Amino acid sequence: MTTFKQTLRCMAIVLPLIAVAVMIQYSATATEPAPEDPKPEAVADSMHHLMEYYFEPQFHKLKEAMAKEPADGAGWKPIKSATLILGEGGNLLIHRAPEEGKADWLHEGEEIRKHGKMAYDAARKKDFATARKQYESMVRHCNSCHRKFADGKYQLTP
């Protein structure tokens, strides 16, 4: 026969266990992973297409606009546009680094972003000498990446 004392002892063990179980259950639901945030994802997998349709048209636009110092605000606009797009393009390259030669690739992508940004910042201040210098540095890195990863083809003249 169960005595009153035995019942109390039994409850002293069982009740805390129930409390712990409830807490574990609660914390499990509270830390349920949130739905994942979207991550950068390639629109076109082919590096050739990224270069041909994203980088190349901006390069031609920039080369033409940079041929001489713009006379007015309208002349600066394509320079600001192309340096911003190409600078951001450095991020797209970083995002697509291949396993083989990864460190070199990341370095070139970072240089495109860096010189693109400095050219863009200079263009916003209508500082042609600095914009031109940074644009030329950026194109040097287009070329050095092509030497490393595209058999030395596509050597561009700023």
- Output phi, psi for 124, to 5 deg: -65, -25
Is there a contact between 88 and 121 (Cβ–Cβ < 8 Å)? no
- Number of residues in contact with ligand HEC under rule CB under 6 A: 22
Question: What's the min distance (Å) between Cβ of 75 and ligand HEC?
Answer: 21
Site string for ligand HEC, 23-52 (x = CB under 6 A): ------------------------xx--xx
Is there a contact between 135 and 62 (Cβ–Cβ < 8 Å)? yes
Tokens representing 113? 């972003």
123 versus 145: smaller Cβ distance to ligand HEC: 145
Among 108, 118, 131, 134, binds ligand HEC (CB under 6 A): 108
Distance (Å, whole) CA 72 – CA 128: 12
| 145 in contact with ligand HEC (CB under 6 A) | yes
| 114 in contact with ligand HEC (CB under 6 A) | no
Nearest Cα to 145, choosing from 92, 109, 100? 109
Task: Name the site residues for ligand HEC (rule: CB under 6 A).
Answer: 47-48, 51-52, 55-56, 59, 86, 93, 105, 108-109, 112, 138, 141-142, 145-146, 149-150, 154, 156
